[in-house]
Chains A and B, each alone.
Chain A
Amino acid sequence: MKAVIEITYLVSSILFIFGIKKLASPKTARQGNFLAAVGMFLAIVATLLDQNVLTYEWIIIGSIIGALVGAIMAIKVPMTGMPQMVGLLNGFGGGASTLVALSEYFRKNPNYPVDTGAAFTLPIDQGIAIILSLLIGGVTFTGSLIAFGKLQGIVTGKVVKYPLQHPINLLLVIAVLVAGAYVIINPDSLGLLLIITAVSLVLGVLLVLPIGGADMPVAISLLNSYSGLAASTTGFVLGNNELIIAGALVGASGIILTIIMCKGMNRSLMNVVMGGWASAGTTGPATTTSPKGQVKSIDTEELAMLLDAVSSVIIVPGYGMAVAQAQHAIRDLMNVLEKKGVNVRFAIHPVAGRMPGHMNVLLAEAQVPYDKLYAMEDINDDFPNTDVVIVVGANDVVNPAARHDQNSPIYGMPILNVDYAKTVIINKRSLNVGYAGIDNELFFYPNALMYFGDAKEAITKLVNELKASS
């Protein structure tokens, strides 16, 4: 039976690998997700056959509750709420790892629940695994809850600074490791183990609280990676290769996404984790010398007339599109322009939105074909040959100051070169600054026209005007 179980775990691991492999193309991605789900099902069945599983009632009750809650969340969540959803799911994974580590600690104790007088020894490798499980799992759990709160608007999305932020966090990590070493040597120290758990939970809050709203793509990716590593450490606790493999795959995935997000902002991971642009943000608006000049605006009728005579349009969506839920209006705009024979494409900056690929999911929801969405590096050279660029709810990622103004806090960040197009239309509610807290000099460029208004309302008005004129 043991061999059957182990082979099933192996098959399940292979299904996970094939599942992720099929995510390389939108055509096979759905099938890949299904394969991974089958792998998970096999792993669960194999575990139920394990000789250490003696009673089933708690497993069944827990599974039903968990499956119901998970299914309801998955069906109810709107596409704009996807970053929160992923944040929350990360947290549950981390929380499960913490709980399993604690449970294993009790199970290994020969004097629990009945004192047998036997000496409690914890093999050093399992001890290390339990402590790391508690630390990573705990940080992932509360860190994800804070990230969820920030994205949902329950916790402030601003950069939160507290005194001695970095020394305190460093001290807490060291404290957990030292206390952990003590517990491994003296496994009977239950109180200390619980303190380690509590400190890990506090650490998760302290680490994510300082991270600002627009840095959430990095935070969510990093927590994603942690949730994988937490699963791996649980694998070390149990001596189970499948958990180690699956956790490592997820850990690698999260790290790669984190690196991509950091590159998209031209910032180091350290810089983001430490609380971001805040240092620049507080002094930025005052010191940056942005060229003030005449901002020109355009109304719906004029814009419709302008768009009547063009052959190519690139739409640049940003977080503002998600906030205004304007993705359906933008799809209508695409349709009406295409009917007039205009070539319409979308340019997606890697950090647009609140998580990796956020814009792509919203546009897919609005039935914009994915082959119309272009990554920054694939479309940036096409802007000079483009008649009109329409920027909807994006700001810092189209600020030309990133290319030339060495004093700008976003200097060096890769941007979409929308200013090279013949005309740039910027849809925004006001001239307010973006996340980096700096003015956007693009608004003052001679080829830039502001189209003021809420994204959904303004684009819908534009679509109606275009329909009426054709």
Chain B
Amino acid sequence: MEEYLFLMHIYVFVLAIFVGFELITKVPPTLHTPLMSGSNAISGITIVGAILSAGMEQFNVSTILGLVAVIFAMINVVGGFLVTDRMLKMFKKK
């Protein structure tokens, strides 16, 4: 099973791309900027990797890199979701 793990990840990746295409083509042009900033925030999911790197027991190069990664990813996540919300609040119908 272990040797097929990588293939399973490729599976998931390809299927997710298809889901992405289906979802995104339905977003109207008027929301393209919030779509970008919102999806941008989602790509901040790298925070998961950053936390794993920063949370190791002994303090070394790995943890320092992890700490900076946490800062970067957190800016991405918090900044992205907040600014998207700020924009979407303004979209009103007559």
Residue A93 is within 8 A (CB to CB) of chain B in the complex? yes
User: By the criterion CB–CB under 8 Å, are A246 and B42 in contact?
Assistant: yes
Shortest Cβ gap from A315 to chain B (Å): 15
B45 — which chain A residues lie within 8 A by C-beta? 40, 43, 231, 242-243, 246-247
User: By the criterion CB–CB under 8 Å, are A364 and B90 in contact?
Assistant: yes
User: By the criterion CB–CB under 8 Å, are A100 and B17 in contact?
Assistant: no
Residue A348 is within 8 A (CB to CB) of chain B in the complex? yes
Residue A188 is within 8 A (CB to CB) of chain B in the complex? no
Q: Which of B48, B62, B74 is close to A43, meaning CB atoms less than 8 Å apart?
A: B48
CB-nearest residue of chain B relative to A53? B55
User: By the criterion CB–CB under 8 Å, are B81 and A33 in contact?
Assistant: yes
In the complex with contacts A24-B27, A99-B72, A356-B33, A243-B49 CB distance below 8 A: yes
Residue A52 is within 8 A (CB to CB) of chain B in the complex? yes
User: By the criterion CB–CB under 8 Å, are B68 and A29 in contact?
Assistant: no
Interface hits, B3-60 → A, CB 8 Å: 5-6, 9, 12-14, 16-17, 19-21, 23-60
Q: Which of A102, A248, A358 is close to B33, meaning CB atoms less than 8 Å apart?
A: A358
User: By the criterion CB–CB under 8 Å, are B38 and A55 in contact?
Assistant: no
Query: Please, what's the 1-or-0 string for B61-94, where 1 marks a CB less than 8 Å from any CB in chain A?
Result: 1110111111111111111111111111111111
A220 — which chain B residues lie within 8 A by C-beta? 36
A99 — which chain B residues lie within 8 A by C-beta? 50, 53, 65-66, 68-69, 72
Secondary structure of the B contact surface, majority rule: helix
Stretch at the interface among A103-111, A169-177, A289-297, A413-421: A103-111
In the complex with contacts A66-B73, A93-B44, A107-B53, A73-B79 CB distance below 8 A: yes
User: By the criterion CB–CB under 8 Å, are A53 and B51 in contact?
Assistant: yes
B24 — which chain A residues lie within 8 A by C-beta? 20, 252-253, 256-257
Interface hits, A51-72 → B, CB 8 Å: 52-56, 58-59, 61-63, 65-67, 69-71
User: By the criterion CB–CB under 8 Å, are A357 and B44 in contact?
Assistant: no
User: By the criterion CB–CB under 8 Å, are A69 and B54 in contact?
Assistant: no
User: By the criterion CB–CB under 8 Å, are A371 and B93 in contact?
Assistant: yes
Residue A120 is within 8 A (CB to CB) of chain B in the complex? no
Shortest Cβ gap from B65 to chain A (Å): 4
Residue of A33, A232, A237, A244 with highest tally of chain B CB at under 10 A: A33
State the CA gap A63–B44 with chains docked (Å).
Answer: 12
CB-nearest residue of chain A relative to B90? A364
Residue A161 is within 8 A (CB to CB) of chain B in the complex? no
Shortest Cβ gap from B31 to chain A (Å): 6
State the CA gap A385–B72 with chains docked (Å).
Answer: 52
User: By the criterion CB–CB under 8 Å, are A74 and B40 in contact?
Assistant: no
**Interface size, chain B (Cβ < 8 Å):** 82
Q: Which interface class (under 10, 10 to 19, 20 to 34, 35 or more) fits A?
A: 35 or more
Shortest Cβ gap from A2 to chain B (Å): 14
State the CA gap A437–B8 with chains docked (Å).
Answer: 50
Residue A245 is within 8 A (CB to CB) of chain B in the complex? yes
Q: Which of B23, B25, B44, B84 is close to A96, meaning CB atoms less than 8 Å apart?
A: B44
User: By the criterion CB–CB under 8 Å, are A74 and B83 in contact?
Assistant: yes
Shortest Cβ gap from B20 to chain A (Å): 3
Shortest Cβ gap from B30 to chain A (Å): 4
Residue A95 is within 8 A (CB to CB) of chain B in the complex? yes
User: By the criterion CB–CB under 8 Å, are A361 and B90 in contact?
Assistant: yes
In the complex with contacts A30-B89, A106-B65, A44-B33 CB distance below 8 A: no
B68 — which chain A residues lie within 8 A by C-beta? 62, 99
B76 — which chain A residues lie within 8 A by C-beta? 70, 89, 92-93, 96
B38 — which chain A residues lie within 8 A by C-beta? 19-20, 23, 32-33, 36
State the CA gap A357–B87 with chains docked (Å).
Answer: 11
A92 — which chain B residues lie within 8 A by C-beta? 44, 72-73, 75-76, 79
State the CA gap A36–B66 with chains docked (Å).
Answer: 24
In the complex with contacts A85-B83, A357-B33, A369-B92, A61-B48 CB distance below 8 A: no
In the complex with contacts A245-B16, A250-B42, A93-B55 CB distance below 8 A: no
Known pairs A36-B42, A357-B31. 7 more at Cβ < 8 A? A47-B47, A59-B55, A70-B77, A82-B87, A248-B17, A254-B39, A375-B28
- Closest CB pairs A-B (n = 6): A66-B74, A252-B20, A62-B70, A357-B32, A70-B79, A70-B78
Spell out A's residues near B (CB within 8 Å): 16-17, 19-21, 23-27, 29-30, 32-34, 36-37, 39-40, 43-44, 47-48, 50, 52-56, 58-59, 61-63, 65-67, 69-71, 73-75, 77, 79, 82, 85-86, 89-90, 92-93, 95-97, 99-100, 102-104, 106-107, 112-113, 125, 220-221, 224, 227-228, 230-232, 234-254, 256-257, 260, 348, 350, 355-358, 360-361, 364-365, 367, 369-373, 375
Spell out B's residues near A (CB within 8 Å): 5-6, 9, 12-14, 16-17, 19-21, 23-63, 65-94
Write 25 A-B pairs (CB below 8 A) sorted by A numbering: A17-B23, A24-B27, A43-B48, A44-B48, A47-B52, A54-B56, A62-B66, A62-B70, A63-B74, A82-B87, A89-B41, A95-B69, A96-B46, A97-B49, A103-B66, A224-B43, A231-B43, A243-B49, A244-B9, A245-B12, A245-B13, A246-B45, A249-B16, A253-B20, A358-B33
